[in-house]
Amino acid sequence: MTPSPTTSDTLYERARALMPGGVNSPVRAFGSVGGTPRFLVDAHGAYVTDADGTEYVDLVCSWGPALLGHSHPDVIAAVHRAVDHGLTFGASTPAEADLAQLVQQRVPAVELLRMVSTGTEATMTAVRLARGFTSRNLIVKFAGCYHGHVDSLLASAGSGVATLALPGSAGVTEATTAETLVLPYNDVEAVEEAFRTHGEHIAAVITEAAPANMGVVTPAPGFNAFLSRITRENGALFIVDEVMTGFRTHAGGYWKLTGGADDAEHPWTPDLLTFGKVIGGGIPAAALGGRADVMNYLAPIGPVYQAGTLSGNPIAMAAGVATLTAATDDVYRHVDARSLEVSDALSAELSKAGVDHSIQRAGNLFSVAFGTSEHGVRNYADAQGQEAFRYGPFFHSMLDSGVYLPPSVYEAWFLSAAHDDTAMERVHAALPAAARAAAAAVAAD
C-alpha cells in the first residue's frame, strides 16, 4: 500500500512548481540524503516542529545562529521592541554601533566593522577590498572551503599546486576565476610554492578559520599562523572567514579559541575577518572587519565601493545585540559540553556497530566522516574519498527517531544552550539504530 502523502510532501510539490528545486537554498532539498525535505513551522529551545506536527531535537540550529536555542526570550523581546519603532529606515541607527562595539570587544583584531546582509556579501567585499588595498589581482583559496556564492570563489582546484582555477559552477566564466588560485587545505608546501610563483600578484589568502563546509576539518597546528606570516612577508592580506565559527566556537570566534595573537607558540592575527550567522541572532546580517588602515579603503572614505540599502537593518541589529549579550561564558561551556557528549556518543555507537569513521572537530563544531579512521579528514580530497553513502540511511534513521540532522555529510552539527538532559536523552536513544543503518548501507553501483 502506498503511504498517504504527508503535509511536507504536499508543500514540497507546491514549492517545486513555484521555485527552482522547491527551495531557496540547495541543501534544503535533501539532495544528498534523498526523501522529502521537512517543512518547518515552529522552533523553540532545542526543538523544531514540521508542518505535520512532528517535533524533532534540532542539531542544525539554523546552521549556527540559534546559539542560545530557538526563540530565546531575550532575543524575541529585543526584536519586538525594535519592530515597534519601524522595520527599516534607510539611514543610520544607534544599534549598528552597539553591535559593532560588542564585536570589537570580543574580537580585538576588528578595529573597524562594516555591516552587510549576508556572508556572501561579506566575503565578496573582503576580496574586493583586498584587491583595492594591495593593487593586486590574485586571490588564494583552499579546495573545499566555501565562502559564499561569490563568482571568483566558486572555483574547483586544477592540477598542480598552484594552478589557476576553473569554474565550479555554470554561469561562472573562466575569466572570473582565472585570478583565483585553489590549493589543497593544510598544505604548507603548496602555499609556499604559490607565493614563490605568484607572490607579487597575490592580493590575499582567504580561508575559513576552521573549514566546516566539507565537513569539519581541523587546521593543522600552526597552519593559520603560517598563513598569517607568509601573507605579511609578501605584502598580501590574510582574510579569515568566520561566518560559521564566529561567536559560535568561542565568544571571540575560532581566532580567539585557538589563541590568536595571545598564542605564544603559534600567534596569528588576520587582517580582515568576515562574520555571519550568529551575528544576526537568526535574522539575516553579516559583517566584515579588521585593520583600520585596510577598512578605511571602503567608501565613503576610500576608493573601494560597497553599499547596501538594508545593511545594518535595525531588526537584525537588535537580534544580534541581544544574542551576543546573552552569549555568556556559561553558554559556551554548556554548548561545548553538549557537543562533546553527542560526538562521543555518536562515535561510540558507530564503533559498536562496526562502522569505520572519524569525528572531525573544531571547537564545539563537529561532523562525522565514514571510512576515514586511518587519517581522518585533512583536506577536500579526504572528504571526497569517504564512504558518503552511509550517511543517507543514518540521517533518515535519526529523522524517524525525532532527531533533525544536517541533510548532508559535508555539513557541521550544531548544538545550543537550550539542549538540556531531555533533548540529549532523545539523541542518545536514536543513535544505536542509526549506527546500524549506516553499517548496513551499501554503495550504489
Catalytic residues: 146, 241, 277
Q: What are phi and psi of 277, to 5 degrees?
A: 55, -100
End-to-end CA distance of the chain: 28
Whole-angstrom Cα distance, residue 412 to residue 362? Answer: 10
- Main-chain phi, psi angles of 45, to 5 degrees: 60, -125
Question: DSSP string spanning 149-184?
Answer: S-GGG-EE--SSTTPBPEESSTT--HHHHTTEEEE-
DSSP string, 346-360: HHHHHHHTT--EEEE
Which cell numbers hold the place of 240?
579569515
**Residue 67 exposed, middle or buried by CB count within 10 Å (0-12, 13-18, 19+):** buried
122 and 288 Cβ atoms separated by less than 8 Å: yes
CA-based angle 259:264:267, to the nearest 5? 55
Cα distances (angstroms) measured from residue 96 to each of 51, 116, 282, 320: 35, 11, 16, 10
Return the H-helix or E-strand segment holding 318.
helix 314-326
Q: Which secondary structure element, helix H or strand E, spans residue 44, and what is its range? A: strand 40-44
